[in-house]
Amino acid sequence: MEKAEPEAMRRPEPARLLAWYDRHRRRLPWRALPGERQDPYKVFLSEIMLQQTTVAAAAPYFASFLARWPNIEALAVAPLGEVLSAWAGLGYYARARNLHAGAKAVAERYSGRFPMSVSELITLPGIGPYTAAAIASIAFEQRAVPVDGNWERVVSRLFAHSEPLPKARARLRTLAETLLPDARYGDFAQAMMDLGATICTPRRPACALCPWNDACAARADGEPERYPLRLAKMARPTRRGVAFLAVRADGAVLARSRPMEGLLGGMTEVPSTPWEGALPTDPVQHAPVKAAWTPLNAPVTHVFSHFALELTVWRAEVPAGTVAPAGHRWVPVRGIDDEAFPSVMRKVLARL
């Protein structure tokens, strides 16, 4: 039998949260001002960028993308390579491919007008249940619950929900639906995000300032920071490899594009050995060109979501006429910033 949720001191009233939001809402570049109509394209662009990324990190990329591709039609016809290059440094690069594919789908299937319902939005590339609910509620005032990490934290504390994440997600979504108002679904969704980001924070929540503090079971128990409960994380394994930094006499760097599918798909990289548990016994056998390769002292380290990477960098100077092997190309120094080098590869290039 499922354990009953603890009784809060009073029922959380949506009107109180909305009144708090009207006074304290964050000014965000993708958020419409009070009384303005929300631009679905801005919601789409920001929500894809904010997946696994902070507001502070996403904001400059949002501004850059909006200036370069001001609407969904412009983004849809942009070359994927340019989109990946503009995304470089923001991480989780599958999002850039999904952003581009989603824009093309909206342009082709819906003549550039976003569908309004969750059921239609979720059919677009790269849009899952959360993003579909966020666009539907914020852009189109549809009754939906875009349950992100902020929602999960607020709801789990309101009800002192004792089941740990990720198993708790289905139940927290059900509880979140009980909080919805009868209108202003977009404002309510953003109010929940703001409450979690500024008041109901992971550590040292400012409960005294919360509009729902007298309705919070976790606060009544005196331990709001305990929630949400989480299962213990698995240790992150370490993979290792050798990156080959080949520099031509004119300063050009040897590079190649990664396969479109998989980790860092479609991004530009410095040639390297496979990323495995141990370094190859004879790294030079994997070098892309014959040269006098020299290992550099400090390795490059980078952390991905499921593993840590340690790259030993080997460098070689080659003559100006050296031909790039099949599948590779020479990138001039002035063109490096225009290439879609991800953060880990920019760390390698820093060895230049």
Place of tokens 């919601």: 43
* Structure confidence at residue 232 as a pLDDT band (50, 70, 90): confident
Question: 10 Å Cβ neighbour count for 195?
Answer: 24
Residues 256-282, mean pLDDT to the nearest whole number: 91
Shared domain check, 221 and 126: yes
Q: Where does residue 99 fall: left (phi above 0), alpha (psi -120 to 50 degrees), or beta otherwise?
A: alpha
Shared domain check, 307 and 164: no
Q: Could you give the count of Cα atoms lying within 13 Å of 240 in the half-sphere of its Cβ?
A: 8
The residue ranking higher by pLDDT, 232 or 313, is: 313
| pLDDT for 203 beyond 90 | yes
> For the residues of 13-81, what is the DSSP string, one character each?
PHHHHHHHHHHH----TTSPPTTSPP-HHHHHHHHHHHTTS-HHHHHHHHHHHHHHS-SHHHHHHS-HH
Token pair for residue 351?
């060895």
Shared domain check, 324 and 208: no
Shared domain check, 270 and 174: no
Q: Which of 202, 226, 250 is the last residue of a domain?
A: 226
68-82 pLDDT, tens digit each: 999 999 999 999 999
C-alpha span between 204 and 272 (Å, rounded): 44
| pLDDT for 4 beyond 80 | no
The residue ranking higher by pLDDT, 146 or 298, is: 146
Identify the pLDDT of residue 228.
95
Shared domain check, 184 and 251: no
H-helix or E-strand spanning residue 314: strand 308-318
Q: What is the CATH number of the domain that holds 212?
A: 1.10.340.30
Shared domain check, 209 and 90: yes
Shared domain check, 207 and 180: yes
- Give a yes or no: residue 5 inside a domain: no
Identify the pLDDT of residue 239.
96
* Structure confidence at residue 2 as a pLDDT band (50, 70, 90): very low
Identify the pLDDT of residue 261.
85
As a whole number, the mean pLDDT across the chain is 93
C-alpha span between 19 and 155 (Å, rounded): 18
Q: Which of 226, 250, 278 is the last residue of a domain?
A: 226
Q: Which of 226, 260, 286 is the last residue of a domain?
A: 226
CA distances from 173 to 28, 145, 152, 179 (A): 25, 7, 8, 10
- Total tally of structural domains belonging to the chain: 2
Shared domain check, 211 and 295: no
- Give a yes or no: residue 123 inside a domain: yes
Q: So which residues are the catalytic ones?
A: 47
Identify the pLDDT of residue 46.
97
Please give the model's pTM, rounded to 2 decimal places: 0.81
CA distances from 344 to 227, 254, 310, 311, 322 (A): 34, 16, 10, 9, 26
| Residues sharing a CB contact under 8 Å with residue 66, sequence separation 6 or more, in sequence order | 29, 42, 45
C-alpha span between 132 and 337 (Å, rounded): 33
Backbone angles phi, psi at 257, to 5 degrees: -100, 140
- Give a yes or no: residue 233 inside a domain: no
Shared domain check, 106 and 179: yes
* Domain that includes residue 33, residue range: 14-226
Shared domain check, 215 and 73: yes
36-52 pLDDT, tens digit each: 999 999 999 999 999 88
- Give a yes or no: residue 185 inside a domain: yes
Shared domain check, 331 and 183: no
